[in-house]
Amino acid sequence: SDTKVNWWADCCESDQSSEFSDDDTYDDLPDLITRNDDSDDDDEDDDEDDLPDLISRNDDDDDEDDLTVLTNDEVYDDDDLVLIIPNDDDSTGEPIVIGLETTYTDEEMNEWCTVHEIEEQEVDEVCLTTGLKKRIDDNLMIGDSGATVHMRRDTSGMYDLREEKCIIKYGNGAQSTSTVVGKWAGMIKDNGVLKKVILDGVTVVPGSAYNLFSLTRALNKGIVKSNGETMILECNGTTIRFDHRIETANGFLLAARFEPMELQDESAHVSLKEGTNVQISKFHTIMGHANEDSIRLTAKHMGVILTGKMMKCEPCAIGKLKQTSVPKVASREVTKPGEVMYMDTASIDKPSMGSKKFWFLFVDGFSDHTISCFGKHKSDLMRVGIDMLLDLKTKDIVVKTIRCDNAGENKMLEQACRKQGLQIIFEYTAPGTPQQNGVVERKFATLFGKIREDAQDDDQDSQLGIGEDDHNVPDNSEVENQEEENTQDEEWQEVRAGRERLIYQPKPTGQTRSGSTYKAAAMIAKGISTANSFQALDDTVVEDISKEEEFADIQEYVLYAEGKFEEPKTFQEAWNHPDPEERKKWREAIRKEFHDMIVRKVWRKTNKSSIPSHRRLIGCKWIFKKKKDGRYRARLCALGYSQIPGEDFMDTSSPVVDDVTVRIVIACMMINGWENEVVDITTAFLHGDMEEEVYMKCPDGIDLIEEGWNLDNDCVELLQTIYGTKQAARQYWKKFMYFMKEKGFERTHAEPCLLKRIDSNGTVVICVYVDDCLLTGDRKAINAAMVDIESAFETRRLGPLEEYIGCSVIEQHDGSKKLIQPDMIKKIEKEFGDAVSYLKNMKVPMASGINVIRPTEDDPLLSPEDQKDYRSAVGMLLYLVKHSRPDLSNSVRELSKVMDGATDEHVTILHRVIKFVIDTKNRGVLIKPDKNRGVIAYCDSDFAGDMGNRRSITGFLIYLFGVPISWKSKQQGGVTLSSSEAEYYAISEVSMELKFIKMVMDFLDIDPGIPMKVYVDNIGAIHLANNASSGSRTKHIDTRLHFVRELTQGDDKIIDIEFVRSEENQSDTFTKNTSNDTFWRLTSKYMVGD
């Protein structure tokens, strides 16, 4: 249309009473709408200013979602929902903007802009877009604010089509007829992601030059925003951008691009309304891939017309395929016990009192007889498995085949069987096929069920005692089976087992009993031992006492398996211990700990509400331990990890006496004939003064010891340090050292935990290791020092030196002493003895020429649990090396290179070292001083000894009066370029240690014999140390390594370097793994024992 009024008139349905003239312009738009408002609540005074009110009257809502009209001079907000009407005015090209703040209903839209009748012909739909003569891209849809329906020019992308006659009227008065309506599916790009869009009620107008997107329909489901250049429709989380500008003769239009749907996506949309045509294969998919007869009956019932021919359905063929049957038993026939054994491992949720948490189950394929073994680690399977198989062999039961999965512990068992000469075939099941080992899998389920049944019957924990003695499992070996002639036990042993072993009898207490005392007690049956013919019983709960006459006919007594209770883990476990004697002792220890806290005024009770807001309330816990001397210790510890650095504590470091210093003092003590005594400072950490403000939760049990405690509201403010607080050790050390200084003791800067006092009573020297003090010197001086210490600290005198810092000092028959660590070796044997029991006796810790190489990226590493065990083992070996086993120095250094990631090969080397330690458990450092020998050191290096980084290894051994006091095996800090340079590096390392030894000896007023001797087997290194010149081969050496030159030159030199042949260099075993003869020849000079 050429005039604005005609353009608008064609869009609006005129009321019969309205006055419509050709002179009307767009300025008269409010009046036009007013005249066509036939609502009952308008009045004759309505004008242009009342337009919002008129439309508001037709809005059911009372909120602000009203229709407003904005003129060209007004600024509309981007949040307004807009309707853009092209402006035909001559020059500006600016649109008239009619703003809608929100969506509105069809009724409201029709009231504002209704479709009118022309020559009494009903118009079904209307659109405003005109003026386009050129055909546009088929993927573009123009946003039309006046269109009442979506329009497509063809049926591409449409589905659910239906015949429906519809007349379309355009804004220029033209009309067209559509006979097809349906749904259309396309894809819209939203923030770079393609999303599916489905338009309903799409009318097909063949031959149209463009596709229309009805904004009128979209307003009912979304929000439209516009800034005049771009329109955005937000609907159901999808954003449609109308940002394609299409120029027209009178302005421009905005369109959105929709990508066509793929054919398979189009076919996915199927209407199941009655009378709809649906392809039979598609209906088959919709109906869940039912068979053809069923879907035809279903379609008939639903009134759906099926078309086409039923095709073969690939998803049906794939989905209904079944896995090939996996054999659950061996194809061969089992004819005798032990011929085939089924084996598997299970984890126990609640480990036994012996901390055994893995259950190894063996099931005989002939008799279904079960053998249960238990271990703390999966690697324990090697020990228990070998022991079980060898035991069966002594009973003429030869195991030929073991079926199991391919777990690591099973492969280790196979290797162990080969080393033991057991010709057993291991059949490994395929991954993901537990049914191949179904015999033992089902047996586990059966036994766990019976465990729960027995526990329920006995009112006990469902896993109490499982794994305690390798027999605490339900026993069905004596149960008769209707389908079998013999029981499992009879099939297994091929003899009828005696039933008398099933009689229960508790173990006598060993106390003298009168005729009137009870002779028996009610206990819980825990299972029949696999190795013994007696029943295991548990007296955890003892309530009823049996009378003696009830057991008058017993012919055979059954031994009572005493419970191996470990140390309690919690306050409740200790306070309510099941053993009356243990319970009494633990309660006494708890009361003593509380008494010490109260007497020393360690805390002050306060209310939680009074704690400052910037302070944290830390927790606490009880630690229980049985000491080697038989004492029961209960220690209340704070949870120091919850303390805040800088607020709850400042410094934490607290020195202890060096192990080298201790050996120096012992050597001097024996040379000078000094007496000695060991003193323990009782509850040492309770003596430290708390300098910070620290609050702690009430400890468990405080309300049982003292009255007036409310555990919910009360807490304690710590006035003194307690065990577990970060600053406890430092505060105690500061207080102890301050006190000793006041008593006239002095200490050296080289060794802050070595004290000395010389007065009229004589000389006394004290080594301080936390709360343990070694006093040596003249007897009067020792007694005077003891009196001083006891005046300020509660102490316990332990007598002459027999054990200190974990080492036992054993007197030899010739007056010499030996340093060993039997407790640490017992711990190693307890933890890892089972894993190495299959190995033969070792002559050396590591074979000659063997080196530990760090794994590559492709090497399989240990599991986190096994790596933790590896670190634990190496850590214990390092502690042995530090105090009593210098012969292990090089081998343990090699093992420590892979603490962060070891492999099975490294574990094998580790087991060899552990086996050597167990086999030589009585070996220790020899202390046999000779005052004429002074200080002598042996030094060596292994040039480029590390095969991974090509760094050299430093090793040295230092004697004082013939007593080995210091040793080391360490990788050098950098790569050296020659053997002489590597030896020179090693000399510098030993020189630093000798300097320390001299300072300690000077403090003790004992002459070490200056100059001290250093023996080296490299002439070039000796030349470098004794000469200050620098050449082309030495000028690159770090300055710190030239430290040795200050000690070897001048009249006041303290070190004299001499040459020794390599075969006599006693430090050779500290740099490399040597042969058996060399190892024992050299180590026997400073160690004693087998």
Q: What is the per-residue pLDDT for 544? A: 39
Of all residues in the chain, what percent carry a pLDDT higher than 70? 72
In the predicted model, is pLDDT for residue 96 greater than 50? Answer: no
Quote the pLDDT of residue 496.
39
pLDDT band of residue 755 (cuts 50, 70, 90) is very high
Enter the tokens of residue 456.
């329920």
pLDDT per residue as tens digits for the range 856-891? 888 899 999 999 999 999 999 999 999 999 999 999
Q: Which residues contact 871 (CB under 8 A, 6 or more apart)?
A: 899
Q: Stretch 590-598: mean pLDDT, rounded?
A: 92
Answer yes or no: are the C-beta atoms of 999 and 748 closer than 8 Å.
yes
In Å, how far are 850, 896, 922 from 1075, measured between CA atoms?
11, 22, 21
Position 331 scores a pLDDT of: 57
Main-chain dihedrals φ then ψ at residue 777, nearest 5 degrees = 145, -150
Q: Rounded distance, CA 989 to CA 954, Å?
A: 8
**Distance of alpha carbon 238 from alpha carbon 251, whole angstroms:** 28
Closest residue by Cα to residue 557 from 496, 509, 507, 513: 507
Name the 3-class secondary structure at 906: helix
- Which has more pLDDT, 592 or 83? 592
pLDDT at 951: 92
How much is the average pLDDT of 789-807?
92
DSSP state letters, 511-541: S---TTS------EEEEE-SSSSSEEEE-SS
**Comparison of pLDDT for 803 and 310, the residue scoring more:** 803
pLDDT (0 to 100) of residue 773: 96
Ramachandran sector of residue 1089 (left: φ over 0; alpha: ψ -120 to 50; beta: rest): left
pLDDT confidence bin for 270, thresholds 50/70/90: low
> In which band, very low, low, confident or very high, does the pLDDT at 919 lie, cut at 50, 70 and 90?
very high
Q: Which two tokens stand for residue 229?
A: 């250049």
33/966: higher pLDDT: 966
pTM of the predicted model as reported, rounded to 2 decimal places? 0.54
Cβ of 61: how many Cβ atoms within 10 Å? Answer: 10
Instruction: Report the mean per-residue pLDDT for the chain.
Output: 77
> Tokens representing 509?
């207490």
| Distance set, CA 59 to CA 29, 43, 103, 274, 503 (Å) | 20, 17, 11, 37, 92
Q: How far apart are CA 779 and CA 761, in angstroms?
A: 8
CA distance 854 to 107: 81
Q: How large is the average pLDDT for residues 713-732?
A: 93
How far apart (Å, rounded) are the C-alpha atoms in residues 961 and 765? Answer: 19
Supply the pLDDT for residue 887.
96
- The least confident of 465-474, 698-707, 990-999, 1063-1072 is 465-474
- What was the pLDDT predicted at 739? 95
> Using 50, 70 and 90 to split pLDDT, how confident is the model at 69?
very low
- Concatenated DSSP letters of 13-46: PPPTT----TT--GGGHHHHHHHT---TT--TT-
- Is pLDDT of 3 > 50? no
726 — pLDDT class (breaks 50, 70, 90):
very high
Q: What integer is the mean pLDDT of 793-813? A: 91
pLDDT over 60 at 552, yes or no: no
Neighbours of 227 (CB within 10 A): 11
User: The tokens of 681 are what?
Assistant: 């400072």
pLDDT at position 455 is 66
**pLDDT at position 440:** 85
Instruction: Compute CA distances 992 → 958, 997, 1046, whole Å.
Output: 12, 9, 11
Q: What are phi and psi of 183, to 5 degrees?
A: -105, 150
User: Per-residue pLDDT for 844 more than 80?
Assistant: yes
Give the C-alpha separation, 426 to 403, whole Å. 6
Return the bridge partners of 633, or none.
Answer: 625
- Give the model's pLDDT for residue 453: 72
* Model confidence pLDDT, tens digit, residues 513-523: 434 444 444 45
Give the amino acid at 52: P
Burial class (CB in 10 A: 0-12, 13-18, 19+), 601: exposed
Beta bridge partners of 199: 184
Residue with tokens 């180590």: 1083
pLDDT of 990 over the 50 cut: yes
pLDDT (mean) for 28-36:
42
Of 920, 968, 676, 928, nearest to 822 by C-alpha is: 920
Quick one: which H or E segment has residue 446?
helix 438-458
What pLDDT does residue 815 have? 87
- The winner for highest mean pLDDT among 55-64, 215-224, 453-462, 488-497 is 215-224
Domains identified in the chain and CATH numbers: 1-114 (no CATH), 122-262 (no CATH), 270-315 (no CATH), 340-479+487-493 (3.30.420.10), 571-805 (no CATH), 929-1059 (3.30.420.10)
pLDDT score at 905:
92
Q: Of 634, 563, 532, 632, give the one whose Cα is nearest residue 354.
A: 563
State the pLDDT at residue 393: 84
The per-residue pLDDT for 316 is 85
pLDDT at 446: 84
Quick: pLDDT tens for 196-231. 888 888 888 887 778 888 887 777 766 677 766 788
Measure the CA–CA gap between 975 and 164, rounded to whole angstroms: 91
**Residue 901 — very low, low, confident or very high, per pLDDT cuts 50/70/90?**
very high
Q: What is the pLDDT of residue 741?
A: 95
Question: What are the structure tokens assigned to 851, written together?
Answer: 């080196």
Predicted local distance difference test score (pLDDT) of residue 797: 93
- Cβ distance 236 to 129 under 8 Å? no
Tens digit of each residue's pLDDT (9 = 90 or more) over 146-191: 788 888 888 778 877 777 878 887 767 777 888 788 888 888 887 7
Written as one letter, the residue type at 85 is I
What is the pLDDT, as a whole number, of residue 111?
44
Q: Are strands 803-804 and 762-769 parallel, antiparallel or unpaired?
A: unpaired
Over 70: is that where the pLDDT of 459 sits?
no
Q: Which residue has the higher pLDDT, 1078 or 305?
A: 1078
Q: Is the pLDDT of residue 44 over 80?
A: no
Distance CA(259)–CA(324), nearest Å, equals 45
Average pLDDT over residues 640-649: 88
Residue closest to 965 by CA, chosen among 985, 989, 935, 987: 935
d(CA 1054, CA 1008): 10
Q: How confident is the model at residue 506 (pLDDT cuts 50, 70, 90)?
A: very low
Could you tell me if residue 246 is left (phi over 0), alpha (psi between -120 and 50 degrees) or otherwise beta?
Answer: beta
